[in-house]
Structure formats: C-alpha cells, structure tokens
Amino acid sequence: MKKNVEIKKLGINGEGIGYIDRKIVFVPGALPQEEVIVEIIKQTRTYSEGKLLQVVKPSKDRVTPKCRSYDNCQGCTMLHLSYFKQLNAKKEAVRESIRKYTEYDLSRTIFKDVIAAPSQEGFITAVNLPIVDFKGKISFGIYQRDSKYLTLMTRCFKQHPIINECLLKLEEILTTNKCKTYSDKFRTGLRFLKVKLIDNKLQLVFITGRDGLKEEIVKEISQLPHVASIFMSVNTSKHQEFDELGYSKLYGATRLELHDDKNQYLVSVKSKLPENIEMMWKQNQTIKSLVQDSQKIISLNCGIGLLELNLDQEIVAIDEKRYQIDDAKLNAKYLKKENVTFIAGDLDSKIVTYAKKKVYDTLIIQNERYGLSDTIKDTIKIAKFKTIIYACQSHSTLAKDLADLEKNYKLERIIGLDTSCHNSYLTTIVKLVRK
C-alpha cells in the first residue's frame, strides 16, 4: 500500500514522523517538511512503519549520503541530513526526552549547542567485525537486522583509512590462503576480527574455531604496514563475550602506547577503547572541568581509568571488568598516580561500601546505554552526594534516571558531545547539584 505523507519531525532514532489518517507513521530516511511517497510495511493498532520510495518535495537540509551502502546499511540513520542539522536534531531529542520523563524546567538549565566532532569521516579507530564469505572471498561485514543484506565494511568512510587499508590487505591474504569462515557444525574457521588503531599502530585479534590461524598466515599478516601485534582467541561458544577468555599473542608487542597531550598510557589487548578516541579526550576534559570544586570522588564504570588518571582529587574508581582494572592499576603505577584507588567488582555492592562512609562529595557515572540500578539510585539518595556527573549515550535512558533523582537534585548543566556521527546516538553529560 503506497501513501503520500508529509513529514512533521524527526523521531529519537532519526526516522521521519508523519501521520496517515491521524495515525503516526515512522519513515526512515525522511526529513521534516518533506513530502514523500512511502510503502506501508508494518501496521499496528497505534502506529505504522513506512519504506521511503520517493521524495516528492525535498528538505533544504537534505544532502547526498557519502556512503555507497547507505540505502541498505543501518549504521548511519542520519547521513542524509546536513551535519550541523544533525547536531540540532540531537539536542532537541535530548530536550524532548527530559521534558517527557521529568519535571525539570529546562529554561533554568544551561544547555549550549552540541559539541561537534572535529572529524566526521575516518574517526573510527576500533572495530569488531564478523568474518564472512562473500562470493567466494573472505571479507568482513555485518548482516543488517531483519534482512539478509550483507554490508561489507572494508571501505566504510567512518573508519580510519589505515583500518580500511588493512582490511583490504587481509581480504587478499585470507582468500589467497584459502581460509574458511566459521562452521558451527565443525567448530572450525574464522569468526571475528577485532581491530584497534592506537597512534597509527594496529592491534589485530582473530577469534577462531579450533583450527586457529596458521603460522605462515600470521607471518604474512605481520608484514603489513602499521601492524604492531596479532592475537588469537579460540572460541567456539555461542556467546560473544570474547574478552572473558584469554588471548594468545602470535606476533608483536604485548601492549601499545596511547598518548594524550600530557601522558602516555599502556593499552593491552583487552583494554576497551571507544570507537572515537578524539571525542573521548574531549569527554574527559569536559568532565574534568565539571568537578573542579570536588574533593573526594567515586567514579563508576571507569574502564581503564583514562579519565580518573587525569584528575587530581582523591578518587575511588570502580569497574566490573577485572581486566579493565588491571590495566588501570598498571597505568597508575606507570604514571606514579597515587590519588586513585581502582577497584574491580559489582557496582551495586561496591558503591554501597564506599558511599555509606559519606566522605565522598561527588559521584561520576559513565554509562553507555544502560540505566542505573535501583541500588545505585537508592544509594545516591542516602549518601547525599553534593554533585553528580552522569554521562550516557542514550538520552531516553538518561531522562528516566533523572526522573528518579529530580526530587533531591537540580539539573544545573547539560553538555552534548557528538561522539558518534551520522546516527541518533549522542553522549550527554549532565551535572546534578543537591538541592
């Protein structure tokens, strides 16, 4: 069924929103003030979903996507919208979420324009990719949700050129050597490739079946430009939490060096780094500026401690992943930082242990897209932290958590950082001050 639809606004995932017979219709790829022709592909009692067939009247903010796979890849839902309009849309999405879930008066809150990413192309420096067979060639790609369409990731314009160059060379090596992709039946073959680019050096991790990676193939890969280390993990389980198991080093450096303006850090194969290192440093600088008046800090989800190791206050930093804490402790010793205590363990139990002392005036929370547990929220109310800095990549999750805290905390400042260009995700940092 084809319908003409006038798009009124953008949804929280970057899709266009219009109405057909007063029922809301979501149209991925459509923009506000556009008239479009859509095919209705799903209907429920309360909403419909439409596939964009034609833009009859385009928006002045529409641009031609730079990605050749854009029509089928679901990784960049806003690439057809001019970049600075993307930032405006993300800011408004944060506003809408906070208005929807909380009673905060945003006219009393400082919320400046979203901080743009310095680079909107070639900024991804960490990827985890399935190894696939594409027309008889070993490659790296992602099957899109709810479809059988395979998006090859060897030329993704958001990935750093060094990563793309390496992926193309790996395609050639693995295909020439007649490698096979993973077989569930025989539990052999290549499953996944994890790549980290650190100061122009590549760390490669192959997740394989029982047959592993042949020595002659490892030797050939080691000769590629920028390759500093190669690791392997034999993993035939159905789950994909590969870091819980060990890695075998096949070639090169055990750790790579990561630099910021002041320090040098050691990064292991298990160290988790965000895909946009450039914006991670910006996020850390932003949080540092928000805690200048703090004396003692508890920091949750600290990872390998790149934020905490740049702060001067007394800090207890907690993460559930022991291998993250091991790296953090190593770097604290390496940098001779004695003001930070890194703790591995369950966040709920650890925050109760430290918060009940009531000597910590500030709580830092770094979340991806998951909300706070009831235990953490209850502890916040009891501990009476003077200041809370909460960073989250999901504005709806953030807003729901704020709703549970607004009785005790005022929302002083909101800062948006575009850590993930061309899709609806935004890293939002809020500063809460106890009433």
Q: Taking CA 311 as the corner, what is the angle to CA 309 and CA 316, rounded to the nearest 5 degrees?
A: 75
Dmax of the chain from CA atoms? 67
Going by the DSSP 8-state scheme, the letter that residue 276 receives in this structure is -
- Whether 401 has a binding-site annotation, put simply, is no
Residue 425 vs residues 149, 261, 390, 421, 422: alpha-carbon distances, Å: 23, 27, 16, 8, 8
Three-state DSSP at 334 gives: helix
Cα gap 230→245, rounded to integer Å: 16
Secondary structure of residue 37 in the 3-state scheme:
strand
Asked if 290 and 389 count as a contact pair (C-beta separation under 8 A), the reply is yes
Q: What is the DSSP letter of 201?
A: E
Nearest CA among 265, 258, 343 for reference residue 299: 343
Q: Are 276 and 420 a contacting pair, CB within 8 Å?
A: yes
3-state SS assignment for residue 230: strand
Q: Is the distance from CB of 7 to CB of 27 less than 8 angstroms? A: yes
Q: Residues 36, 56: contact at Cβ < 8 Å?
A: yes
The helix/strand/coil state of 81 is strand
Task: Show binding-site residues.
Answer: 319
Task: Show binding-site residues for S-adenosyl-L-methionine.
Answer: 319
